[in-house]
A and B are shown apart, each in its own frame.
Chain A
Amino acid sequence: MTDTVRTSAPSAAAARHLKRRRARDGRFRYYGLTAIFVALGALAVLVLTIGTQAFSAATYNVVRYEVTLDPAVIAPEGANRPADISRNVEGFYGLVRDNLLKTFPEAEADRVSRRELSDFVTRLAVLPTARLVANNPELVGSTITLTAPLNDDLDLYLKGQGVRERKIRAGAVSSVQGDQDGTFLLSGTGAFEAVVAGLAAGSVDRAEDAGQPDVLLTAGVSTGRLSDIGAGSARMELLTGRAQDFAQARPAARIIVSAESERTISDRQIAWVLALREMGRVDRVPRWTLLTNSDSTYPELAGGLAAIVGSLLTMLITALVAMPIGILAAVYLEEFAPRNRLTEFIEVNINNLAAVPSIVFGLLGAALYINFLGMPRSAPLVGGLVLALMTFPVVIIASRAALKAVPPSVRSGALAVGASQMQTVFHHVVPLAAPGILTGAILGMARALGETAPLLLIGMVAFVGDVPRSPADESTVMPVLIFSWSNNAERAWEPLTSAMIIILLAFLLVMNGLVVFLRRKYERRW
């Protein structure tokens, strides 16, 4: 390449040509590098966006409730068998609600605030505790700590995602005076100067019709809503706790940008959840329920277990059908079939089959398996068969490529010592092609694992709350679950969807890792 080793100097024309040629080489290298960086960048953006979203769903806030398992409530006479206890959601939920009402007695005042408080926990969230007590009847009558996930909107609020707010540290409040209309007058020299400034700064970037921002003031477990805010004094409507907490304190102010009517959580709920957190009863814990719970209409309870099991069952059916058929077809076509018009026709059509849009396979599956053969709807059995139809052309193509890559010298070597054609193929060719065949098969399966469209058509999109026990049970799969969740309106589903995507990607990564491992381990040189 270098002309320094040349003995005679090149002519000017040759030197120019050489220079141009080298420039072309260099440019090509840069194009390649650029392409790689673009691809890596896209991948990084994808992983980062989904990853950060999913990260927030990886943990969630749970609240602890000290409840006494009153036999009269959870195991009344005539309904105290374990089965009854595990179904007594209403009883357990009542205990939780009573505990909340005891903690925040002001919620007793009216129906609206009672409902707002009971929204803290969904009824079904007590199910695990009910089952626990049902399995350990000796717990009845004792006092236990019941942990239940916080309502998804409040969970998002605590994660700083649900509501736009600004926290401002207020100055020292020197006096708190009760008024006859139930409000309090807080005063202190310059106590609310920062809040006034914050409100003024915030009004600039707010929409005209956004309404007045709410200002909440929190001291310890007590929270109130401010109005008539001046630099040295403000009127406060106490939401929870005691007014005395504010005296001699430097409370924290929260300017909540959107008006209460536009939010999914009220000022009171914010006050309560902040108080619960101040009491140390809120824990942010890893969300294992994402892997151990099945689908739910409540995001804080929803998990992917049913879909994961459904995916595994579906993949099992796909593997059992597509791999033997695909590999045997490939071995026959590559090693035994004569080359003629018919095999050429078959070959072309296998390639065509691999290019058919997956939704068409779904239609075929719905018509053939469900309508004609009468197989159950929404079942992994049908899903697996549909995906097998889609996968096996891929398996055939990959296996044939792997078989073709085995050098003919291996075949002639075996034939020359008197091996029959079948012995040659199964003793020598297939073992050598096995890593390639497996690679193709697993990659085909990975594609099937991520497939959504054909499964929608055979009804695997149905809401499934139970883990399927057999391939004939109703089920859904991971990508379809992601599709369903992404259609839900509530904001809490967004990070959950991302988390589910991460789980799906993890499965795909494991499969691809398996491919690399198998190839490394069994690849043989010749």
Chain B
Amino acid sequence: MDTTQGTPAMMDDTLTLPRSADGAQRIDCRNIKVFYGQAQAIHDVSMSFPDRAVTALIGPSGCGKSTFLRCLNRMNDTIENCRVEGEILMDGENINDEDVDPVLLRSRVGMVFQKPNPFPKSIYDNIAYGPRIHGLANGREDLDAIVEKSLRRAGLWEEVKDRLTAPGTSLSGGQQQRLCIARAIAVQPEVILMDEPCSALDPIATARIEELIDDLRSRYCIVIVTHSMQQAARVSQRTAFFHLGNLVELGDTNQIFTNPREKRTEDYITGRFG
């Protein structure tokens, strides 16, 4: 199952926490079931996410891939009537436990949304907000360093370094999305969840984000939900195909796209439905 193509860690590693060795499983999900009221959206899904690799979740609309993604940082808690069953292990700890603080969890598991949603504040404050509320910076210089590092890592620094006080909403769509990624990076997460991060962007901006995802892979466990199979093929190392709330097939991206084991996967990939 382990097909991670690990790359050596970069030198400036101050933003990343010590983590498990290459190839280890960062998140292990066991028998996840999600209910919206009476309706079951996810049926008994078990899968794991390797560290320092991109896992893509693909599938037709309404198949539950976004719902599943939101289980990983307990964003489903904010939805009324939504109930999650099963175990999600991170560092051997079940994040669905009552005594796990979802707020702390979300600082370890960052998230980027479909539509870029920078705060209506300055670029600087967008990045600095997370470190501030978590007390990650001691003083102004420290915070400045975090902001610069996060923006550099998101490939946005050169474009915005002269206008950090400009509102984040004044950037273009692609820049906004990279700002959101920088914002997620700034709180030093171990996992980054991306919910169709490019669906609101033009192809050039999409290409930049994909490059960025590829760069980030060396430090984070990345889970991306996408509608574009080409994108999944380009950026991910592992792919999971969801259909009607079931995990149909999970495997190496190459294998899924070239030699799917399941008929349904093949039908979807070749465009027969979805």
Contact = CB atoms under 8 A, between A and B. Distances in A.
Interface in B70-116: 73, 75, 78, 80, 103-107, 110-113, 115
B191 to A, nearest CB: 12
A416 B110 CA distance: 6
A415 B107 CA distance: 9
A3 to B, nearest CB: 35
Contacts of B228: none
B234 interface: no
B115 A409 contact: yes
A407 B115 CA distance: 12
A71 to B, nearest CB: 73
A414 interface: yes
Interface residues of B, number: 28
Contact of B133 (A338, A419, A526): A419
B110 A412 contact: no
Interface in B103-141: 103-107, 110-113, 115, 117-120, 129-130, 133-134
A308 interface: no
Interface in A386-420: 407, 409-420
Interface in B182-205: 183-184, 186-187
Given A410-B119, A525-B169, A526-B169, A416 B103 contact: no
Contacts of A423: 133
Given A423-B133, A526-B169, A413 B180 contact: yes
B120 A412 contact: no
Contacts of B117: 407, 409-410, 412-413, 526
A524 B120 contact: yes
Interface in B130-162: 130, 133-134
Given A339-B80, A526-B169, A416 B106 contact: yes
Contacts of B120: 410, 432, 524-526
Contact of A419 (B103, B110, B115): B103
A426 to B, nearest CB: 11
A425 B112 CA distance: 20
A416 B133 contact: no
A428 interface: yes
Contacts of A418: 103-107, 130, 133-134, 187
A428 B110 CA distance: 18
A81 interface: no
Interface in A413-469: 413-420, 423, 427-428, 432
B103 A412 contact: no
A402 to B, nearest CB: 15
Given A525-B169, A526-B169, A417 B110 contact: yes
Contact of A413 (B80, B104, B113, B133): B113
B187 A417 contact: yes
B80 A338 contact: yes
Given A339-B80, A526-B169, A416 B119 contact: no
Given A410-B119, A428-B119, A416 B184 contact: yes
B169 A417 contact: no
Contacts of A411: 78
Contacts of A409: 113, 115, 117
Contacts of A420: 103, 133
Contacts of B130: 417-419
Contacts of B184: 416-417
A413 B118 contact: yes
A185 B134 CA distance: 105
Nearest to B131: A417
Contact of A417 (B80, B115, B129): B129
A416 B111 contact: yes
B129 A427 contact: yes
B75 A413 contact: no
B78 to A, nearest CB: 6
Contacts of A416: 73, 75, 106, 110-113, 184
A418 B129 CA distance: 10
A428 B105 CA distance: 20
A32 to B, nearest CB: 34
A481 to B, nearest CB: 45
Nearest to B180: A413
A414 B229 CA distance: 30
B199 to A, nearest CB: 14
Nearest to B108: A418
B106 A415 contact: yes
A384 B111 CA distance: 48
Contacts of B134: 418
B117 to A, nearest CB: 4
A323 B120 CA distance: 25
Contacts of B111: 412, 416
Interface in A504-526: 524-526
Nearest to A406: B120
Interface centre among B106, B107, B118, B119 (most CB of A within 10 A): B119
Interface centre among A413, A415, A420, A524 (most CB of B within 10 A): A413
A339 B78 CA distance: 12
Contacts of A428: 119
A417 B106 contact: yes
A418 B104 CA distance: 6
B38 to A, nearest CB: 16
Contact of A414 (B73, B112, B119, B169): B119
A417 B184 CA distance: 6
B47 to A, nearest CB: 22
A427 to B, nearest CB: 7
Contacts of B104: 418
A339 B169 CA distance: 32
Contacts of A427: 129, 133
A419 B186 CA distance: 13
Interface string A364-386: 00000000000000000000000
A201 to B, nearest CB: 75
Contacts of A417: 106-107, 110, 129-130, 133, 183-184, 186-187
A437 to B, nearest CB: 16
A407 B180 CA distance: 16
B78 A415 contact: yes
6 contacts: A413-B180, A415-B75, A416-B113, A417-B133, A418-B187, A526-B120
Interface of A: 338-339, 407, 409-420, 423, 427-428, 432, 524-526
Given A409-B115, A525-B120, 19 more contacts: A338-B80, A339-B80, A407-B117, A409-B113, A409-B117, A412-B75, A412-B78, A412-B117, A413-B183, A416-B113, A417-B106, A417-B133, A417-B187, A418-B103, A419-B129, A419-B130, A420-B133, A428-B119, A524-B120
Interface of B: 73, 75, 78, 80, 103-107, 110-113, 115, 117-120, 129-130, 133-134, 169, 180, 183-184, 186-187
Which 10 residue pairs of A and B lie closest in terms of their CB atoms, listed nearest first? Answer: A418-B107, A409-B117, A417-B130, A416-B111, A418-B106, A413-B117, A524-B120, A526-B120, A420-B103, A418-B103
